Homo-oligomer: A and B are copies of this chain.
Amino acid sequence: MSFKFSDRLNSMSGTATREILKLTANPEIISFAGGLPATECLPVKEIEEITQEVLSGTKASNVLQYGITQGMFTLRELCTDYVKSFSINNAHPEEILIVSGGQQALDLACRVFLNKGDTILVEAPTYLAFLQIAAAYEINIIGVNSISDGLDTDDLEEKIIKYSPKLIYLVPTFSNPTGKTYPLGKRKKIAEITKKYNVIVLEDDPYSKLRFEGEEVPSIKSVGGDNIIFITSFSKIISPGLRIGLVCANAEIIRKMEICKQSADVHTSHLSQAIVKEFLSRNLIKNQIQKVRPIYKAKKEYMEQAMTKYMPKEFDFTHVEGGMFVWGEFDAPVDTQKLFPKAIEKKVAYVYGNVFYPDDSSHNTLRLNFSNATKEKIDQGIRALGELYQNEINKIKK
Residues of A near any B CB (own CB < 8 A): 1, 3-9, 12-13, 15, 18, 21, 25, 34, 36-37, 39-40, 42-44, 47-48, 51-52, 55-56, 60-68, 100-101, 103-104, 107, 111-116, 129, 132-133, 136, 166, 195, 198, 200, 225-227, 235, 239-243, 250, 252-253, 256, 259-260, 262-272, 275
**Which residue of B is nearest A113, CB measured?**
B6
- The CA of A18 and the CA of B260, in the complex, are separated in Å by 12
Interface on chain A toward B: helix, strand, loop, or mixed SS? helix
> Are A264 and B64 also in contact (CB < 8 A) when A5-B113, A112-B6, A116-B116 are?
no
Q: Are B61 and A51 in contact (CB under 8 A)?
A: no
- The CA of A133 and the CA of B262, in the complex, are separated in Å by 9
Q: Which of B34, B67, B260 contacts A136 (CB 8 A)?
A: B260
Q: Are A262 and B132 in contact (CB under 8 A)?
A: yes
Q: List 20 A-B contacts (CB under 8 A).
A: A4-B113, A4-B166, A5-B112, A6-B111, A6-B113, A6-B114, A9-B112, A9-B260, A36-B65, A40-B61, A44-B60, A44-B64, A47-B64, A48-B55, A64-B239, A100-B265, A107-B264, A243-B266, A243-B267, A264-B264
> Are A65 and B39 also in contact (CB < 8 A) when A5-B112, A136-B260, A225-B1 are?
yes
Q: Are B100 and A66 in contact (CB under 8 A)?
A: no
Q: Which of B34, B62, B129, B269 contacts A66 (CB 8 A)?
A: B34
Number of identical protomers = 2
Taking CB atoms, residues of chain B closer than 8 Å to A8 are 111, 115
Taking CB atoms, residues of chain B closer than 8 Å to A136 are 111, 260, 263
- The CA of A398 and the CA of B256, in the complex, are separated in Å by 45
Taking CB atoms, residues of chain B closer than 8 Å to A67 are 241
**Which residue of B is nearest A130, CB measured?**
B263
Q: Are A240 and B64 in contact (CB under 8 A)?
A: yes
Q: Chain B nearest CB: distance from A58 CB in Å?
A: 10
Q: Are A44 and B61 in contact (CB under 8 A)?
A: yes
Taking CB atoms, residues of chain B closer than 8 Å to A52 are 48, 51-52
**Which residue of B is nearest A132, CB measured?**
B263
> Are A260 and B12 also in contact (CB < 8 A) when A47-B55, A103-B265 are?
yes
- The CA of A4 and the CA of B5, in the complex, are separated in Å by 29
Q: Chain B nearest CB: distance from A286 CB in Å?
A: 19
Q: Are A241 and B259 in contact (CB under 8 A)?
A: no
- Which 10 pairs from chain A and chain B are nearest by CB? A241-B270, A64-B239, A48-B55, A269-B269, A64-B241, A100-B265, A133-B263, A66-B240, A42-B64, A104-B265
